[in-house]
Amino acid sequence: MRSKWAILWLLVVLAVGVHQVRFWLSARLDTDVLALLPEDEQAPEVGAATRKLADGASRELVLLVGAPDWEAAQRAADVAREALSRDASLLKPSALDASSFDTALELYRPYRDRLLTPAQREWLTRATADELGGTALMKLYQPAGPRLTNWEADPLGLWPDWWAARAAESTARPRDGRLWLSGEGREWVLLAFHSQVSAFALGADGHITRAVERAREAVTAAVPGSRVVAAGVPLYAESAASQASDEMSTIGTGSMLAVLLLVWLTFRSMRPIVMVGASLVIGCAVALSVTALVFDRVHLLTLVFGSSLVGVAEDYGFHYFASRQGKPPEERGSVMRGLLPGMVMALLTSVVAYLALGVAPFPGLRQMALFSAAGLVGAFLTVVCWFPHLDTGALPVTAFAQRFATSLARWPRFASTRTWWVGTAVLTLFTLGGLWRLKTRDDVRQLQGAPAHLIADQRELGRLLGLPSPAQFFLVGGQDDEQVLERETKLKARLDALVTDRKLAGYRAVSDWLPSAEQQRADARLSERAEAQAVAAVAVATGEAPTRASFAEGVLTPEQLLASPAAAAIRQQWLGMLGDQHFSIVMLRGLNDPSLLPHLADAAQGLEGVRWVDKTQEISGLLERYRKLMGGLIVLGYVAVLLLLVTRFKRQAWRAWLPTVVGTLFTLAVFGWVGEPLQLFSVLGLMLLLGMGVDYGIFMLEHPGDGSAWLAVALAGVSTLLSFGLLGLSATPALRSFGLTMLLGEVAIWLLTPCCRLPPGKDVS
Amino acid sequence: MKRVLLLVMLLAGMTASAQDMVTQVRARLADVPLLRGGFEQKKTVSGFKKPLVSRGVFLLAREKGVLWDTQTPFASTLTLTRKSLSAQQGSGAAAYHLDASKEPGLAAVNEVMFALLSGDVAALSKRFRVEGALTGTEGWKLTLTPTDAGLARVFRVIQLEGDKYVRQVRLEEARGDMSVIQFDQLAQTPPPNEAEAQRLAK
């Protein structure tokens, strides 16, 4: 009977092995931090918009090379370009030259008459014939200037202003065949590169990061006083990947070694080491395969989190060997049968706790939950199905194990004495005080583990270039393209007021590059009337008969624009059809003051189809909502676990339950006293404490007074401590907070559980 | 901002250019903090049969700006300073104003212009290929071809002639139009009067 299960499990493990080989050959590891972020439940189009903005940027690397003067800046830019272009399979310079401007000019030229800025529209509407004629004359007689057309095609000289308004979307300007800007005491050259490798496929090797560092060094060495500011998703992706793989090897290897060392100290035999090790490896492999099958791509942070799984999965093996130690080999089967009820219950509580993590809509969290649950089941099945078959030799009790097992008898146990009540009162006061001081924080930044220098560079670049913010924008929806553009126009009228009040530097909207058909027709009529008056006035003044050029019959359509390279500027903001609606994004520049965000939210008030999206605030709001939800779930979870325990342990159930409750409250109290805020990820840690902390109580109750159960609990506790303690070293704030919660909680629960054990001679039944 | 470019080119002639040639031309040019005089501009524009002729006076104040006042065939003023460019018709019918803080290009052009005024030859030869010849004992001629893509979009070639001062500028635009500007009555005095100083302070 048992061997049938062993063979069945062997087949599963073999299948997992095959899958693992294929998985690692294709290496579908995800390093993109964005993949961890939650979907917006209420508005899928917001998610689509964010993804589109992110996709557009996912391969772009932007550099500003600055020096005290323009000459030096140009030299520095050449050095940087040379250093970065060295490996053509890595980075390719993006075209930022004048030819793209010429393409755009030719596309727009036939429609020049219907491309007006708001200021021109206003002026043409109110200007008198005298003013129009006078302006045309003045501009005609002025010493020559950079006109983009013949005089007849633009008698009022409107078009260069329209282009100037477009160019104002970035502070960079063409100069000597480069893109130049001036700021913060330096002259800068803008360089852009396109990564030849997808951000998803960037490994932990940091090729692009190293190339940028090489360029930085070369530039600093070649040009004194120079500076390189670099930003781009590839740098973040590489940093995340190398950080995750570093942590994975520290935490994973560290806890694995610690566990094996403990096993060696306890059993002084290779067999438990090999077998517990095997159960861990199989557990991790199963976890990875199941996660890969369900999610297709596995995130590197899942592996980091999963590394701590090691600290939990070895519990089953410990329990088996601790019980089996000193018993004759033929009793293996009965030892396992005796352990099974406790182990199943422990597995159930842990798996339930892990899976509860998946309630939150964070794709990353769901992966971690599934990974951990599958890993535990894999390790559990390995222990149950294989250990009794493979563990054939004798396993004498070691002195270390003996000493430890007998220590249980000396461990203090709660009794109704004065000392205990005083201790309880002190602990209660400490806990209440800490809980009183406990604060919460739901800041999205806890998800960012990016190094400070990357963030600083990104900010500086955004400031210098006047780039629009990708985290806050307006989403404009409508029945068709025309309605979207019309609604954008209404929104822009409100934004213009904010720009005038200097609350906003500017915005970037598709309709600036592609006015709605209605707007185009109205502008064409407006400029036709005004320019006819201007031409007539000039004819009178000069005694000649100039004529106004004619323009295209139809309007410029989205299809025409999108088919042209000129659409590059707005392509990522034009979402097209999502569901049954069409959408576009209006992006904002100069959003440096968070206190202005409510003004912007107000700007969308009452405008049909316009939605203000504040990704930062949205995610923070989501974190808060789920922190509260999970908090409620934990309370429910404690009630459910208590009921489960009562079905088996009757009136003694509290002995397994109370230590975890007290440990949890104690952890929160410590957080309160030291000023560590409560956030979603610490709440998730509390959830797992519930799953694991109760395990100890269960084993102590299942095998009262049994030194071997105590030994197993001790081993489990110490190894869990090690693994989560190491997670506390993570550079990702969320993981660190999670690790700290586990660390504190585990210590408290582990110390308290034996205090609540049954008095000698008493049994749960 | 646009028309300003032309003025920059104009002023370019009043200072200098490249290499030995440039050094020699510079030696012949007077280094003046202030220059005023009259101009006559003949502009050939497509769509117009005859050249458009205008006359007026100008004032160049180094470090401050340029005033370009057309008197015939109609009165209009043009003021270019570090901060802004503004134009006004004498009749008051038309006016426009560009703010350097809103139009970064204008600030850049002004910067270039003042670099030119202070005799920064390097700045000019970075944007133009400069060729030239000395004529007679005092005269010189320069031909400037833009090397910068942005400038090449505007000018095909610029020619300057002069002696102690720039006497003639000939601008050939990329789109075919052409202007020839003659200067006369050039003088280094008097200093700006109150009205002029006020305009330059804008």
Nearest chain B CA: its distance from A552 CA (Å)? 20
| Chain B neighbors of A95, CB-CB under 8 A | none
pLDDT tens for each residue of A402-423: 888 888 778 888 877 888 889 8
Give residues 38 to 97 of B whose Cβ lies within 8 Å of A: 41, 43, 45-50, 52, 54, 68, 70, 73-74, 76, 78, 87, 89, 91, 93-94, 96
pLDDT tens for each residue of A241-254: 777 777 777 777 77
Residues A710-725 have a mean pLDDT of: 80
Q: List, in order, residues 6 or more apart from A532 with CB less than 8 Å away.
A: A548
pLDDT tens for each residue of A592-635: 777 778 888 888 888 888 888 887 787 788 788 878 888 888 88
Nearest chain B CA: its distance from A187 CA (Å)? 11
In chain B, which residue's Cα lies nearest the Cα of A135? Answer: B94
**What percentage of chain A has pLDDT greater than the value 90?**
14
Q: How far is it, in rounded angstroms, from Cα B72 to Cα B79? A: 17
Nearest chain A CA: its distance from B137 CA (Å)? 30
Interface test with A, best of B2, B77, B103, B173 (most A CBs within 10 A): B2
| Chain B neighbors of A176, CB-CB under 8 A | 126-127, 147-148
Mean pLDDT of chain B: 75
Please answer yes or no on whether B2 and A71 come within 8 Å at the CB atom: no
| Chain A neighbors of B108, CB-CB under 8 A | 173, 175, 182
Please answer yes or no on whether A143 and B153 come within 8 Å at the CB atom: no
pLDDT at res. A764: 59
Residues A289-307 have a mean pLDDT of: 80
| Chain B neighbors of A548, CB-CB under 8 A | none
DSSP strand pairing (A298-299 vs A29-30):
parallel
pLDDT at res. A114: 93
Task: Evaluate whether B110 touches B66 at the Cβ level (below 8 Å).
Answer: no
Least confident range of A125-139, A417-431, B97-111, B138-152:
B97-111
Give residues 106 to 145 of B whose Cβ lies within 8 Å of A: 108, 122, 126-127
Cross-chain CB nearest to B3 (options A137, A145, A149): A145
Cis peptide before A396 (omega within 30 of 0): no
Q: How far is it, in rounded angstroms, from Cα A536 to Cα A548? A: 9
pTM: 0.71
| Chain B neighbors of A151, CB-CB under 8 A | 45-48, 177
Residues B20-45 have a mean pLDDT of: 82
Could you tell me if residue B175 is left (phi over 0), alpha (psi between -120 and 50 degrees) or otherwise beta? alpha
pLDDT tens for each residue of A44-57: 777 777 777 777 67
Burial of A751: CB neighbours in 10 Å, binned 0-12, 13-18, 19+:
middle
- CA distance readout (Å), A388 to A126, A227, A285, A392, A434: 94, 66, 22, 7, 47
ipTM of this complex prediction, to 2 decimal places: 0.83
Nearest chain A CA: its distance from B109 CA (Å)? 11
Cross-chain CB nearest to A150 (options B54, B91, B175): B175
| Chain A neighbors of B68, CB-CB under 8 A | 143
Nearest chain B CA: its distance from A739 CA (Å)? 51
Q: Which of A484, A482, A493, A476 is nearest to A520 (CA)?
A: A482
Nearest chain A CA: its distance from B6 CA (Å)? 6
Residues A558-565 have a mean pLDDT of: 86
Q: Which of A242, A279, A275, A206 is nearest to A13 (CA)?
A: A279
Q: What are phi and psi of B58, to 5 degrees?
A: -135, 160
Task: Give the A-side interface with B, CB within 8 Å.
Answer: 71, 97-98, 128, 130-135, 137-152, 157, 160, 164, 167-168, 171, 173-177, 181-182, 541-542, 544, 546-547
- Whether residue A36 is predicted with pLDDT greater than 70 in this model: the reply is no
Task: Evaluate whether A695 touches A346 at the Cβ level (below 8 Å).
Answer: yes
pLDDT tens for each residue of A361-391: 777 778 888 998 899 999 999 999 888 888 8
In chain B, which residue's Cα lies nearest the Cα of A146? Answer: B154
Nearest chain B CA: its distance from A177 CA (Å)? 6
Q: How far is it, in rounded angstroms, from Cα A704 to Cα A281? A: 31
Q: How far is it, in rounded angstroms, from Cα A459 to Cα A472? A: 15
pLDDT at res. B5: 40
A217 vs A619, higher pLDDT: A217
Residues A72-95 have a mean pLDDT of: 84
Cross-chain CB nearest to B179 (options A144, A173, A176): A144
Please answer yes or no on whether B148 and A175 come within 8 Å at the CB atom: yes
Segment (H or E) for A572: none
Pairs of residues, one from chain A and one from chain B, whose beta carbons lie less than 8 Å apart: 133
- Whether residue A108 is predicted with pLDDT greater than 60 in this model: the reply is yes
Q: Which two tokens stand for residue A476?
A: 């404009």
| Chain B neighbors of A164, CB-CB under 8 A | 1, 103, 105
A656 vs A760, higher pLDDT: A656
Give the best-scoring range by mean pLDDT among A593-597, A668-672, A701-705. Answer: A668-672
Q: How far is it, in rounded angstroms, from Cα A693 to Cα A749? A: 6
Residues A59-79 have a mean pLDDT of: 88
pLDDT at res. A1: 45
Tokens 């990875």 belong to: A288
Q: Which of A464, A431, A393 is nearest to A230 (CA)?
A: A464
Least confident range of A167-181, A628-642, B165-179:
A167-181
- Whether residue A553 is predicted with pLDDT greater than 90 in this model: the reply is no
Q: Which of A476, A481, A486, A487 is nearest to A560 (CA)?
A: A481
| Chain B neighbors of A124, CB-CB under 8 A | none
pLDDT tens for each residue of A496-550: 888 888 888 888 889 989 999 999 999 999 999 999 999 999 999 888 888 888 8
Task: Evaluate whether B13 touches B58 at the Cβ level (below 8 Å).
Answer: no
Interface test with A, best of B67, B175, B178 (most A CBs within 10 A): B175
- Whether residue B125 is predicted with pLDDT greater than 50 in this model: the reply is yes
Cross-chain CB nearest to A98 (options B7, B104, B149): B149
| Chain B neighbors of A541, CB-CB under 8 A | 73-74
Please answer yes or no on whether B2 and A160 come within 8 Å at the CB atom: yes
Cross-chain CB nearest to A151 (options B5, B47, B87): B47
pLDDT tens for each residue of A170-214: 777 767 677 888 888 888 988 888 887 765 555 656 788 888 889
Please answer yes or no on whether A168 and B89 come within 8 Å at the CB atom: no
Report which residue type is found at B103.
Answer: E
Please answer yes or no on whether B2 and A134 come within 8 Å at the CB atom: no
Q: Which two tokens stand for residue A2?
A: 């048992």
Cis peptide before B190 (omega within 30 of 0): yes
Task: Evaluate whether A195 touches A208 at the Cβ level (below 8 Å).
Answer: yes
